[in-house]
């Protein structure tokens, strides 16, 4: 009769080690929504109170409890490291963890901008400050290009103004002076007579600049016309013709600091036509690196 009762105790004895070591299978309950978690709410309350360090510890504790699967806590920790603690490397880690847990959301796109801002903040802590130097260099090159374009425009306006003044001066000189007509003598600009063929009854005396004097050659009386006082003859001065360059080609003498790109920018308003200048000067430039001070280059139109 005792053997059956012993057999009933065998299952209990088999489970005794498991009960003693706590290895009995347990049912794992799923986490509640992160926004409803008391620890998350406590962290948000600490933030409203301005207790950032305590809030940071609270969010980190919640991330650890959930095995890293706490997207909103990662976001809050990233903001704390970025904005308050000024640790961009730690902020980047938590921002990236949020994007892994919440991909494709609008907030993930904004977090990407925060990551880029953290990268810039970290770069500014480096001794050489590579990002700032690159931005400053780009801004400087744009300013130089703008000033060079404005300089070229001013030069063209100045050349046009000089040409207009020269034309006005020539016209004024032609209007006030005396022009010499070959084969006919002197032609006064205002009033007087013009030396013409002998049949007109007018002739010149001597070789000096004298007005023609009327001579009576027919029985018809000639009424003399009063002449103004003789004045020195003024001949229109024509400036010597400048040696014109070949059609469609300009000349440029290389100065210190010149490059093919800068010369292209000066004459064409863009750096991209430097190869046209090089192609037009292959006779003096074996390659693009043989530009020398004093070298005369042809600038095609």
Chain segment 180-207, per-residue pLDDT in tens: 444 444 444 444 444 444 444 444 444 4
pTM of the predicted protein model: 0.37
**N- to C-terminal Cα separation, the chain:** 123
Tell me what the mean pLDDT of segment 4-31 comes to. Answer: 46
The reply to whether 205 falls in a domain is no
In this structure, the answer to whether residues 120 and 41 fall within a common structural domain is: yes
Instruction: Give the residues across from 186 on adjacent strands.
Output: 180
| pLDDT for the residue numbered 85 | 92
The reply to whether 28 falls in a domain is no
The reply to whether 9 falls in a domain is no
Pairwise pLDDT comparison (2 vs 73), residue with the higher score = 73
Task: Report the greatest alpha carbon distance in the chain.
Answer: 188
pLDDT at position 67 over 70: yes
Q: Could you report the per-residue pLDDT of 109-157, keeping only the tens digit for each?
A: 999 999 999 999 898 888 765 555 565 666 677 788 788 888 888 988 8
In this structure, the answer to whether residues 119 and 151 fall within a common structural domain is: no
- Cβ atoms of 25 and 37 closer than 8 Å: no
Q: Which residues contact 176 (CB under 8 A, 6 or more apart)?
A: 189, 234
The reply to whether 217 falls in a domain is no
Residue ranges making up the domain that contains 66: 34-124
CATH for 68: 1.25.40.10
Reduced to 3 states (helix: H, G, I; strand: E, B; else coil), residue 19 is helix
Phi-psi region of 168 (alpha: psi -120 to 50; beta: other; left: phi over 0): alpha
- Residue 47: both structure tokens together: 């933030």
Measure the CA–CA gap between 22 and 189, rounded to whole angstroms. 129
How many structural domains are present in the chain?
3
| pLDDT for the residue numbered 290 | 85
- Residue 85: both structure tokens together: 């603690």
Helix axis angle, 71-79 relative to 52-65, nearest 10°? 150
């Amino acid at each position: 009769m005792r053997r059956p009762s012993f057999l009933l105790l065998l299952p209990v004895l088999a489970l005794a080690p498991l009960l003693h070591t706590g290895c009995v299978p347990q049912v794992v309950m799923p986490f509640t929504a992160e926004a409803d978690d008391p620890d998350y709410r406590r962290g948000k309350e600490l933030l409203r109170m301005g207790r950032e360090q305590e809030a940071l510890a609270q969010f980190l504790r919640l991330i650890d409890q959930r095995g890293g699967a706490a997207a909103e806590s990662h976001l809050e920790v990233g903001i704390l490291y970025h904005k308050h603690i000024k640790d961009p490397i730690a902020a980047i880690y938590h921002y990236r963890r949020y994007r892994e847990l919440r991909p494709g959301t609008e907030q993930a796109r904004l977090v990407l901008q925060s990551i880029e801002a953290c990268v810039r903040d970290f770069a500014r802590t480096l001794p050489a400050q590579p990002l700032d130097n690159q931005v400053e260099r780009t801004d400087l090159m744009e300013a130089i290009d703008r000033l060079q374009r404005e300089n070229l425009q001013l030069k063209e306006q100045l050349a046009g103004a000089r040409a207009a003044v020269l034309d006005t001066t020539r016209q004024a000189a032609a209007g006030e002076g005396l022009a010499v007509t070959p084969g006919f003598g002197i032609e006064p600009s205002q009033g007087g007579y013009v030396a013409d063929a002998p049949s007109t009854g007018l002739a010149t005396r001597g070789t000096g600049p004298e007005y023609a004097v009327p001579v009576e050659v027919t029985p018809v009386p000639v009424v003399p016309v009063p002449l103004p006082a003789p004045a020195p003859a003024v001949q229109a001065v024509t400036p010597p013709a400048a040696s014109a360059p070949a059609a469609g080609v300009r000349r440029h003498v290389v100065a210190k600091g010149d490059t093919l790109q800068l010369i292209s920018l000066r004459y064409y308003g863009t750096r991209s036509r430097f190869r046209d200048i090089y192609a037009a000067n292959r006779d003096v430039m074996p390659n693009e690196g043989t530009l020398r001070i004093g070298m005369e280059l042809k600038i095609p139109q």
